[in-house]
């Protein structure tokens, strides 16, 4: 797994590339998110358009981040195209906690401040 961080207005957009599994550096991403939160960033968008596989470790990252940002009136969103990744998100019910968009364009249209 690789990731790229892009500033989108008040949001940090995290583009996750490849497989999200414990074996491929989810702790590094989790540490990066904690660092951003410590610096006062409390609004994140996880762009999974280039994510090929997602397991429970990825779900854990989203939940951990959600808990941390909610303490500071923050928010997180997920962008996921129709794929195996989106099916996993639906299966575990993450879409009931975190709004999931079908594309980056859809997210940006709704969040003009991004």
pLDDT-derived band of residue 105, with 50, 70 and 90 as boundaries? very high
Question: Does domain 2-110 correspond to CATH entry 3.90.420.10?
Answer: no
The pLDDT of residue 114: 65
- Inform me whether the pLDDT recorded for 113 exceeds 90: no
And the tokens for 25?
A: 């550096």
Tens-digit pLDDT profile for residues 63-95? 999 999 998 999 999 999 988 899 999 999 999
- Inform me whether the pLDDT recorded for 8 exceeds 80: yes
Alpha carbons 21 and 10: distance in angstroms, whole number: 28
The pLDDT of residue 32: 92
Tens-digit pLDDT profile for residues 20-40? 877 656 788 888 999 999 999
The single residue listed with the structure tokens 């709004």 is 99
- Cα torsion at 56, 90, 46, 28 (round to 10°)? 0
3-class SS letters over the chain: CEEEEEEECCEEEEEEEEEECHHHCHHHHHHHHHHHHHCCCCEEEEECCCEEEECHHHHHHHHHHHHHHHCCCCEEEEECCCCHHHHHHHHHCHHHCCCEECCHHHHHHHCCCC
Residue 81 contacts residue 75 (beta carbons within 8 Å): no
């Amino acid at each position: 797994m690789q990731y790229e961080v892009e500033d989108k207005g008040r949001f940090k957009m995290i583009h996750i590339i490849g497989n999200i599994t414990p074996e491929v550096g989810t702790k590094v991403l989790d540490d990066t998110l904690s660092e951003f939160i410590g610096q006062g960033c409390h609004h994140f968008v996880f762009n999974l358009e280039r994510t090929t596989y997602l397991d429970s470790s990825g779900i854990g990252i989203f939940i951990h981040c959600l808990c941390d940002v909610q303490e500071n009136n923050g928010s997180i969103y997920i962008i996921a195209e129709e794929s195996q990744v989106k099916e996993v998100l639906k299966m575990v019910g993450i879409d009931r906690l975190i709004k999931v968009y079908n594309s980056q364009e859809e997210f940006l249209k709704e969040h003009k401040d991004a």
